[in-house]
Structure formats: C-alpha cells, structure tokens
Amino acid sequence: MEDVAQRFKGETHEESLTYYRDGVNGDDDNDDMMMMMIMMMVVVMMMAMIMERKGGEETRRRKRRRRRTRKRIKRRKKGIYTLVVVVVVVVVVVVVVVVVVVVVIVVVVVVVIAADADFNLSYVCQKDKFSYVL
C-alpha cells in the first residue's frame, strides 16, 4: 500500500487515470476498433467471394435441369442458410469480444478510481471509532 501511495504522490486524480487509460505504451482503444474493422472487411470479402462462386454464368440446359430437380434447389437453399448462420455467428463473436473489452476497461478504471480514493483517505482512530479524514 505504501509503495503504491508513494508512486502516485504528487499526481492529480486525472493524471493517474490517464496513466492507466493510455496504457504502458500510450496506446488508446483505436487499435482494437481498427482490428475489428479489418476483421469485418475480411468477412465481407469472403462472403462476396463465396456468393460470386455460387452464382456463376450457366447455360440454359443447366438452368432447365435445376428447375426439374427439387433436391438441387434444396441443397442450394441449405448452402444459403449455412452462409447466413456463419455470418450471424461471426457478428455475435465480434460483439461479444467488444463487450468483453469494454467491460475490462470499465473494471480497470473503477479499480483505479477506488485505489486512488483509498490513498487519499487516512484512517484515524478516535474513541474506538474509525473516521475518514480527507
């Protein structure tokens, strides 16, 4: 406790918060957002490539055959459904990662505020009572 209090001695409350918020290297949260944007772009590009591969140019004969057979239509629908499921799962995973990162940041900030408030309070024992002296 004493070491930590000595380390923060002379710093204001806001300075200690910015030390933790910016991190050791001075990075902010824009790196995480950029990574998520890049991941979303990769997912969109993969989806576009899959859709492009599925819907190629076909001759009239193939189209007629596809109309005749119901099984192929069902297979194609299953492929579309699996694509939708994959997209939904990827979006849910990205949202969960964002929520976890935000929760961790909030918890760290709350712990720093509580620790800083704890350093500013000194306990004085008077007549068997503990009172806070700011």
The model's pLDDT over 94-105, given as tens digits with 9 standing for 90+, comes to: 999 999 999 999
Nearest to 5 by CA among 96, 110, 119, 117: 119
Please give the Cα distance from 72 to 56 (Å, whole number). 16
pLDDT at 113: 76
Which residues, listed in sequence order, are joined to residue 102 by a DSSP beta bridge?
none
The model's pLDDT over 32-46, given as tens digits with 9 standing for 90+, comes to: 777 888 888 888 888
Residue for token pair 């500013």:
120
pTM: 0.33
